[in-house]
Structure 1
């Protein structure tokens, strides 16, 4: 579904192809199905998302797998094998991760989720294969999860980037994806290894974007201070992705002046959706793609 906007976006991304607002299913479609699962992917596509956002980490045996948090915890998991409560994903191999039921535990913030007891941790390869079968024109926002403040996580940066780039190439997604990360060291590395890929600079103002931050890669906060879009431009990013609460007209105007798109996260409330669309953002990451599409359809 294409949702038209008042001005055709020329910045590279799904908005440039459709001439409309990009509605991205967050972690698949977290409001509808368990996050980062095959069921979540199906739910996002069925809800009309124009792109799917997913989180990818590296398992101990080198597989890029879908999981958001650094560890496993009972609030999201049911352990059918060993009790892995608190275990780090990057210290577990894929076979052990597959023993964890990640689809049976109700999420208190998303009571409308359709549970899926068969859901297990899946690889990026499996998700992209299913995505191609369901919608071979889908755009992908692939968030590479690296914590540069943690030495074990930081050590996964290069092998994770290598593995994700290999999957992007194998599935022919060079023109339909963003390499997306809060760790701008990931974006520096992606720029060096695959300069033609689009990069998306995730940012949490005051946390990852702050003086002395380890999250900014080769960018110095002092060179830009409050100019988040300028900092993203130094990275060669095509997209800046702030939390929606920090998006204002000045940020959108500055980003657009640099030919950088604005993709806020995670926007679920109708009033917040309208506010973001009023500001002229290029896309929205949301747990409820159908709701966002309905709100966006009123903007012309």
Structure 2
């Protein structure tokens, strides 16, 4: 089941999949069409990106529940100061007035990615825009790891969850991209809603143990992770919940975990692995896929280990799909 959607994330003894995180955040402006296009041209197997809905229910690709001042400029080119508007309180037309093509190097967040290029006139994209881009024949081999963001601070939280899932599923279906899309979240209850509302798309369960601090400038996922430490087995809990991929924080995964997940029929795709040493450790664990801000860096490490990130049949199947 879900063979086609899972193919882009499934590794083997000679292949580990490269998943571009927010495109290639280490080099290109994150969650932008420019960044996604550049990353897909590298030959990555998949993209991982964040989706939520605007005030007028348009699914958009953005990580934080509010505009991040470290990457956001006004139409006049000024860095956005606090208070940072929440995505759920802006219409898409209002959101599109902002430029997210560069990093403010004087912020703590901006200093995390010194190699990222600086661009102008880069809007927060609609989910539909990325799907249209990914439908181009040259990108037919790329899978989509669509992370649905869940905002516990929004009014009518449960209703907002349901509306978000419905809006996302509707856009993916309209683009005829369900066969290439994985629904992915830290909010496991939201993933249950996905399984009910969009049973034609497999679910991927993110996890982060509370022992690890959030990255600077990032909305926290730990609100959804408080009970994970009490679970006897995270892979078993995911398998029982109907998941197909386990996406753990890379510091939380061991060889025994990978073996257990495999025995349960799960794929393993740790995030966000940026240091070559950590990449090497994940390679040694034999995970299926690695989510990274630096896809080219990961490609180099795979080459050093005589591994591939694509199979020949990936390209052949993509050609057949686009014909």
Using the size of structure 1 for normalisation, the TM-score is: 0.86
- State the partner residue of 2:243: 237
Match of 2:121 in 1: 118
Distance in 2 (CA, whole Å) between partners of 1:274 and 1:74 is 34
Shift in Å at residue 221 of structure 1?
5.5
Partner of residue 258, structure 1: 264
Question: Are 1:50 and 2:67 matched, yes or no?
Answer: no
Match of 2:182?
A: 178
Superposed CA offset, 1:120-173 (max 9, x none): 111000111112225122100000000346545554211111111122222222
Alignment coverage as a number of residue pairs? 285
Identify the match of residue 36 of structure 1 among 31, 40, 44. 31
The separation in 1 between residues aligned to 2:154 and 2:281, in whole angstroms, is 36
Stretches of structure 2 that go unaligned for 5 or more consecutive residues are: 105-109, 213-221, 308-323
CA contact (8 A) 1:48 1:290 kept: no
> 5 Å matches for 1:4-23?
12-16=6-10, 20-23=15-18
Instruction: Say what the alpha-carbon RMSD is for the aligned residues.
Output: 2.8
- Once the two structures are superposed, residues 207-258 of structure 1 have per-residue CA deviations (whole angstroms, 9 ceiling, x without a partner) of 79xxxx9637xxx869x71411011112201001111011111110111110
- Greater RCO, CA 8 A, separation 6+: 2
Among residues 199, 215, 240, which one is paired with 2:224 in the alignment? 215
Equivalent position of 2:311 in the other structure: none
Work out whether residues 147 and 154 of structure 1, in 8 Å CA contact, stay in contact via their aligned partners in 2. no
> TM-score when scaled to structure 2?
0.80
Q: Do the aligned partners of 1:26 and 1:54 also contact (CA within 8 Å) in 2?
A: yes
Please state whether the residue corresponding to 1:240 is helix, strand or coil.
strand
Q: 2:289 maps to which residue?
A: 283
- For residues 171-221 of structure 1, give each alpha carbon's deviation from its aligned partner in whole angstroms, at most 9, with x where no partner exists: 22222221000011221011112223111001112379xxxx9637xxx86
The answer on whether the counterparts of 2:203 and 2:244 sit within 8 Å (CA) in structure 1 is yes
Q: Distance in 2 between matches of 1:23 and 1:246?
A: 19
1:138 aligns with 2:142: yes
Tell me which residue corresponds to 1:4. Answer: none
Of 154-163 and 179-188, deviating more is 154-163
Of residues 150, 160, 163, the one that matches 2:164 is 160
Shift of the alpha carbon at 1:87?
Answer: 1.2
Structure 2 SS opposite 1:281 = coil
Q: Are 2:276 and 2:301, in contact at CA under 8 Å, matched by a contact in 1? A: yes
Unaligned runs of 5+ in 1: 1-8
In structure 2, distance between residues paired with 1:79 and 1:185: 36
Change (3 A) 1:84 1:132: farther
Aligned to 1:89: 87
1:147–1:226 Cα change, 3 Å: farther
